[in-house]
Amino acid sequence: MGKAAAVQVRLSAEDEAKLAGDRGPGVAMAMRLVVALARVSQATELIDIESAHIDGCLYHGQAGLDFIQKLVALGAKVAVPTTLNVGSLDLLHPGLVRMDRRESAAARALMDAYVAIGARPTWTCAPYQEAARPQGGTDIAWAESNAIVFANSVLGARTARYGDFVDVCAAVTGRVPLAELHLAQNRIPTLELDCSGIPERVLDNDAAWAALGFVVGREVGEQVAILTGIGAEVVDEDRLKALGATAASSGGVGLFHVAGVTPEAVQGGQAWLEAGLTRIEVTPELLRAARDELTTAAVGDRLDVVALGTPHFSLAEFAKLAEVLADQVPFDPSCAVWISTSRHVLAQAREQGYAQQCEVLGARLVVDTCTYLVPILADNVRTAMTTSGKWAWYAPANMGINVVLGTLAECIASARAGRVIRDESSWR
């Protein structure tokens, strides 16, 4: 509260040395922000982190560039293994992002500066699809809302909801405030979302998980919920990715549990449920309502774009898509199909032949960035369809287009027809 005295942060001798500039002026600058965050979040001490994931490499203007270039100029380097979220450019496919020369140069300089500070040029919002992943129970500093919720929920690692500036400061100092989701007591659910009324065949398509995520975000806000009544056999990482990404967009969800599935729920879930939680029933009607809220175009409308891979398409998703495309029916010439993924997964998808299978039908592949963040789609696009709840949430405002949330089968059928097709049977 405003009148309460500010909580004092106890710093270790090494923290004090960093703050005083003994480890260099760059470390001192980063430490000032970490300590300031500790004060804001009322943490009493700082803790070590094992890895960091930085979201600050997406260009939002000169200030972000000036900040990282100042850290680099002051000699700062990351102290822990650090991955990078998407930038504003596809460095493997120059010219794909339509940006004027000045802004494009600034966006490139921003990406270069984060590499110069020692982070790995992964350029992905799905660092959890890279080879090295955080272990359960370890403290990490991850930024970007979908990466945060995945690390906490699916990997069982512990990260607060870090954002721009403080993400790189955590990486440089190796320290974060002991607060928020780093604290065990803040990871216990306060709500139960009972999903036992949703038929398994509905949960057997990925877009239903995006719709479920939208419901979770709306119902729980920034609380922690446990989802019950979901059979482990319909759950996979891509579905949990879809759930988390949408829940973190429609609400501020940083952690969720799935009974019998996610690591902390497997360990402690029964005790939480026996203690009694406020229970909310999630019905198929709620999922369809969520789908329709994430849809601003109508069935039958002319379709210009199908956008897949937000968060970045995984190898398993490429395999599923390849199966759907196996009959080699072409897309309607007026509908462009875009797939966003990481350069790492793209290399694997090429090795397996999935990427070529998409390209031969005319699908376009984007790496290092994403189709809803920067100008990639043609200027005259009016209606797009996607399996991603996050894309559907942000695209209408970011790009001024209409959007339809659909299953992968609906998206591909629509791309082939050049108009929006809905198969209600997959939603009931």
| Sites of contact with another protein (CB under 8 A) | 1-6, 29, 32-33, 36-37, 39-42, 55-56, 58, 60-64, 66-67, 70, 143-145, 161-166, 394, 397-398
d(C-alpha 377, C-alpha 399), whole Å: 9
For another protein, the closer of residues 162 and 354 by Cβ is: 162
Q: Do the strands 141-142 and 225-228 form a parallel or antiparallel pair, or are they unpaired?
A: unpaired
d(C-alpha 420, C-alpha 428), whole Å: 19
d(C-alpha 26, C-alpha 18), whole Å: 9
d(C-alpha 259, C-alpha 274), whole Å: 12
Burial of 5 (0-12, 13-18, 19+ CB in 10 A): exposed
CB 14 within 8 A of CB 48: no
Burial of 351 (0-12, 13-18, 19+ CB in 10 A): exposed
Query: Which two three-digit tokens encode residue 285?
Result: 């009607």
For another protein, the closer of residues 67 and 427 by Cβ is: 67
Please report how close the Cβ of residue 141 comes to another protein at its closest, in angstroms: 12
For another protein, the closer of residues 42 and 334 by Cβ is: 42
Please report how close the Cβ of residue 335 comes to another protein at its closest, in angstroms: 27
H-helix or E-strand spanning residue 271: helix 263-274
> Any bridge partners for residue 258, and if so which?
227
For another protein, the closer of residues 62 and 283 by Cβ is: 62
For another protein, the closer of residues 32 and 133 by Cβ is: 32
Please report how close the Cβ of residue 61 comes to another protein at its closest, in angstroms: 3
Neighbour-count burial for 187-225, b at 16+ CB within 10 Å, e otherwise: bbbebbbbbeebeeebbebbbbbbbbbbbbbbbbeebbb
Please report how close the Cβ of residue 32 comes to another protein at its closest, in angstroms: 7
Please report how close the Cβ of residue 275 comes to another protein at its closest, in angstroms: 28
Q: Tell me the chain's radius of gyration from C-alpha atoms.
A: 22
Please report how close the Cβ of residue 410 comes to another protein at its closest, in angstroms: 27
CB 392 within 8 A of CB 293: no
For another protein, the closer of residues 236 and 394 by Cβ is: 394
For another protein, the closer of residues 164 and 264 by Cβ is: 164
413 residue type, one letter: A
Please report how close the Cβ of residue 177 comes to another protein at its closest, in angstroms: 9
For another protein, the closer of residues 2 and 333 by Cβ is: 2
Name the nearest CA neighbour of 56 among 115, 136, 126, 130.
115
CB 161 within 8 A of CB 145: yes
Please report how close the Cβ of residue 223 comes to another protein at its closest, in angstroms: 15
